[in-house]
Amino acid sequence: MSKILVTGGAGFIGSNLIHHIIDQPEIRKLVNLDCLTYAGHLVNLAGIAGHPRYRFEKVDLRDKNAVRDVVEKHGIDRVMHLAAESHVDRSITGPGDFIHTNIVGTFNLLEACRACWLDPASSFRFHHVSTDEVFGSLKPGEPAWTEETPYAPNSPYAASKASSDHLVRAYFHTYNFPVTLTNCSNN
């Protein structure tokens, strides 16, 4: 029985994910951590707000103590990290939010989870959702990206997501932290 944390769960993708998995028998508790910025709307989850397994925590990933408190309080053992500042155009006009949320926020979450994962009884898992933007731009006729494609971010958004990907990868290699990473395309 897992206690899952979904970051960015009030956004379009996160809320649909929560609706899709909330009734899975292996889920004991599902915690939605979202700070409800421009993309997060609790109306997306109105149908499950009273579900006995569902909890909502209005927390900003940039607040490391609050993030750690949520992970500890709920005994989280699975993370699906979807929260991010997104949209290339927004990153061009205001890159600071992207750096703080996507890089520092991911670091805060990794540290909170690593503290819990060090518990010998834990079977922790961390899934980081990234973007195809980290691979740069394709020209017409170029082959699709693969896992071997070098990173070539071309915007502050893409660079912030590439940085968070590298942090996740570093935690795997440095701490043997149990992570998976996906690069979604055109969500």
**Structure tokens belonging to residue 121:** 């009884």
* Alpha helices by DSSP H, 46-186: 64-74, 88-93, 95-98, 106-117, 156-175
- Active-site entry in 157, 165, 171, 175: 157
Residue 127 CB neighbour total at 10 angstroms: 17
End-to-end CA distance of the chain: 30
- Active-site entry in 133, 147, 165, 175: 133
Tell me the C-alpha distance between 110 and 181, whole Å: 13
Neighbour-count burial of 56, counting CB atoms closer than 10 A to its CB (0-12 exposed, 13-18 middle, 19+ buried): middle
Is residue 171 part of the annotated active site? The answer reads: no
Q: What is the largest CA-CA distance in the chain?
A: 51
Is residue 132 part of the annotated active site? The answer reads: yes
- Active-site entry in 34, 60, 85, 132: 132
**Structure tokens belonging to residue 64:** 């490391």
CB 83 within 8 A of CB 61: yes
Nearest CA to 4 among 12, 13, 14, 62? Answer: 14
Active-site residue list:
132-133, 157
